[in-house]
Chain A
Amino acid sequence: MSVLKFHDVRRAYVSGKNVLDGVSFDVNKGEVVGLLGRNGAGKTTLVRLAMGMIAPQGGEVSLFGMDPRSQPLAVKRRIGYVSEDQILPGFLAIGQVLQLHRELFPDWDDLMADELLRRYGLEHGRRIKTLSKGQARQVALLCAVCHKPEVLILDEPAGGLDPAARRDFLETSIRLLNESGSTILFSSHHMGDVERMAGRAVMLHDGKVLVDDDLDAMQERFSLLIVPHVDAGPEEDRRARLSAHPDCLAVRDRLDGWHIVIRRTPDGALAAAADLHFDDARATVLGLEELFIELAEGQS
């Protein structure tokens, strides 16, 4: 069952340049989807559309079948949101911020809020402006999860946090998954976090969806084939032969040879190399980070 839907969504900057140029995907109940892409790929714009902060110029955004612009309250009650540049009012004490949320959300869980506060080592009386960046983000996360939202939307939630704070963040999100079976859409530059959290990745590139796939399946389907350089002979000819292979996604010249990203398992990649008479090739699995970099670069 789809809880969050983007259908042919379009949005341009004031300058007229398209940020999102026909983006479509659904997020189903209970799914954890990692939103990937370089800076400027349109991740934040997409999140802001889902939150109803901006309107699409074409296409449709819906949460629980509702338009976040026309039914903001009904939608926001059921979602939690944290972003990198979220600002809580500095003059308020943590307790006052929590009180505001308690009044807004009927399902607010005081026990969970107190437990998380203790875990983060924070007290009700502390003013927001005295908190470090990491602590402020922890308060924001607490506010986003203690009403047990059906959908949690995180925009670079760990941006600028140290590893310990990132780990806390991850654990709190996982707890929400375990206790409430929530759906999560999150954008992150930390591929390790994406790998731990997400079951599926959607990658934006040039305003379009470049990849939308199961993470495990992706890792099992792609590998890196390395064909050593030879001292003599026409290297360009070797490159051309490699590029021409139907499963080849990218060919790059590296110190130890040609690096080929190939849509095959390592064994399959070796078989492909043997077919091309590259008997000295070796094949390895490919980390997600490398895979996404290669896929993005392979486009331009």
Chain B
Amino acid sequence: MGIIIVVQPQSGVPVYRQIIEQIRFQIAGGVVRPGDELPSTRALSSHLGVNPMTVSKAYASLEQDGVLVRRPGKPLLVADRDQETVIESRREQVRVALAPAVTRIRQLGLDDETVLNIFRELIKEAKDEEAIS
């Protein structure tokens, strides 16, 4: 399967939410594209070692939000969305990922410029690492 989902018990985040977030993330990042098929509930549940009800709960929620499309008797599909929505969704994913860090940073009392510099350094390091590998 093209999609990568890793479930971490004991993280404090319910398993179905972890599945939802990771699927959304990979759609926003373009790893999984509109029209791609999702593994069946059964396949994903045995692959992850989780209760099939948990997987169907995650799928149902994504379907509700228009992220996935259900077709009778066939695998779920990633829904078509226009470019603007995709970009908006990427922005939203970044916001979700960074919000907890922002809270921590503000608690540390660093000034904005220092924090932004650290962030730029981190991005540079990540890019350098990708270039090497």
Contact = CB atoms under 8 A, between A and B. Distances in A.
B51 A191 contact: no
B95 to A, nearest CB: 15
Contacts of B17: 216, 220
Nearest to B41: A178
A287 interface: yes
B41 to A, nearest CB: 8
Interface in B1-46: 7, 9-17, 42, 45-46
A257 B52 CA distance: 40
A192 interface: yes
Nearest to B43: A178
Interface string A123-141: 0000000000000000000
Given A32-B51, A196-B51, A282-B107, A174 B46 contact: yes
B133 interface: no
A30 B53 CA distance: 9
B50 A287 contact: no
A171 B51 CA distance: 10
Contact of B45 (A178, A282, A286): A178
A280 interface: yes
B46 A178 contact: yes
Given A171-B46, A178-B42, A219 B13 contact: yes
Interface size on A, as a range, is 20 to 34
B114 interface: no
A286 B12 contact: yes
B50 A197 contact: yes
A215 interface: yes
A197 B50 CA distance: 5
Contact of B10 (A30, A220, A288): A288
Interface string A150-172: 00000000000000000100110
Report whether over half of chain B's contact residues are helix, strand or loop; otherwise say mixed: helix
Given A32-B53, A196-B51, A197-B51, A191 B12 contact: no
A99 interface: no
B12 A177 contact: no
Contacts of B72: none
B83 interface: no
Interface residues of B, number: 24
B49 interface: yes
A22 interface: no
Interface string A172-193: 0011011000000000000111
B103 interface: yes
A170 B9 CA distance: 14
A152 to B, nearest CB: 13
B54 interface: yes
Contacts of B104: 282
Nearest to B48: A196
Which of B14, B42, B104 has the most CB atoms of chain A within a 10 A radius of its CB?
B14
A263 B31 CA distance: 37
Interface string A196-222: 111100000000000000011001100
Contacts of A170: 49
Most buried by B among A178, A191, A285: A178
B14 A174 contact: no
A197 B12 CA distance: 16
Given A171-B46, A196-B9, A216-B15, 19 more contacts: A174-B45, A174-B49, A174-B51, A177-B52, A178-B42, A178-B46, A178-B52, A195-B15, A196-B15, A196-B48, A196-B49, A196-B51, A199-B51, A199-B53, A216-B17, A219-B14, A280-B107, A284-B12, A289-B10
